[in-house]
Amino acid sequence: MDNIDTFIEKFITAVDFQEAVEITPDTVLKDLPEWDSLAALGVIVLSDMEYGKTITGEHLKQVTTVNDLYQLLT
């Protein structure tokens, strides 16, 4: 199982930020400048490919921070 730092690296790759963004476990997803439907789709693909878990947009609506997302997938 990945630790939170490894997850954050994968999250940053999945969202494909255009500019460098500092992400911590406490980062609020909706505060990220590029958190949109494409970013959410990247996270859904990440969860399936890297963690073998199927999540939906409804799951993503229920999480607030990067750590919440990490807890959902691990």
| pLDDT tens, position by position, 11-54 | 999 998 888 889 999 999 999 988 999 999 999 999 999 999 99
pLDDT for the residue 2: 81
- Domains belonging to the chain, first-starting first, are 4-15+25-73 (1.10.1200.10)
Decide if pLDDT at 70 tops 80. Answer: yes
The pTM (predicted TM-score) of the whole model is: 0.90
pLDDT for the residue 1: 64
* Dihedral angle over CA of 20, 24, 26, 27, nearest 10: 10
pLDDT for the residue 19: 86
In our burial notation (b when 16+ CB lie closer than 10 A, e otherwise), range 59-69 reads: bbeebebbbeb
pLDDT for the residue 3: 95
